[in-house]
Amino acid sequence: MRFNARLGAAVLVLGSALYMVASVVTSRSAMAEIPPDLSANPAEASLGVMKAAAALVQEERSVVVDVRPAGAYARFHVPGAVLMPGAGPEQLKALLRTHAPVIVCASRDELAQKLVVKVRQANPTARIHYLADGARAWYLAFELPVPLFAESSPPDGYADALQLVSAWFEGPGPRPEARSRTVEALQTLARLNYQPSLLKSGKKAAAAGGGKKKIGGGCG
């Protein structure tokens, strides 16, 4: 049997193309599996809600300081947050002696940022941040029934991850053995990025049963 050079070359080209496609798919799949980095950079002033939650899970001395009025705190607050209405830089600096990181929750990001900047001016290495978008961000991420306000169904893994995170913050008390699983759940939520798109797009969402919670203006 004579060897067909053209056919052999075509087979080699096809094989190379298939190998390249498989390599790209494998590479993209591997990249998709890399968990998001939720570690808080000391230089960051603001923390997104997933980073803030991860810091609270991983750091035993971490604390959220809510500087909003008591009424706003009563309407909704980050679980475990310490109420210090109108707290100033000196009070926060005192708290840093026993807690770190300190995460400030205010009614406006501008106010929280000013507090963080003032504390860091006195102590550039202070582990203090503020929760971006305040209590509202926490409510939208972990309390709002997102499927009622989303244009798509929850992605695989969303419900289980949310349940694990809720168990950590709403349960009888943090369990050290659940720490790593809770961080992994937060990474899953960050990767899935399932959002209440109907709220963000201004479309009218289906009404949820029961009473409604205020979610504007930092949840009060």
Sign of the dihedral through C-alpha 55, 148, 155, 202: negative
pLDDT at 105 over 90: yes
Kindly report, residue by residue over 153-190, the tens digit of the pLDDT: 999 999 999 999 999 998 776 678 899 999 999 999 99
pLDDT tens-place string over residues 29-72: 434 578 899 999 999 999 999 999 999 999 999 999 999 999 99
pLDDT reading at 116 higher than 50: yes
User: What are the structural domains, with CATH classification, of the chain?
Assistant: 46-136 (3.40.250.10), 144-200 (no CATH)
Asked if pLDDT for residue 125 goes beyond 60, the answer is yes
Query: Does the pLDDT of residue 201 top 80, yes or no?
Result: no
Please report the pLDDT score of residue 122 as a whole number: 96
167 vs 16, which has greater pLDDT?
A: 167
167-171 long-range contacts (CB < 8 A, ≥24 apart) are 168/57, 169/53, 169/56, 169/79, 169/80, 169/142, 170/79
Tokens of 89: 């830089």
* Alpha-carbon radius of gyration of the chain: 23
Q: Note the pLDDT of residue 33.
A: 72
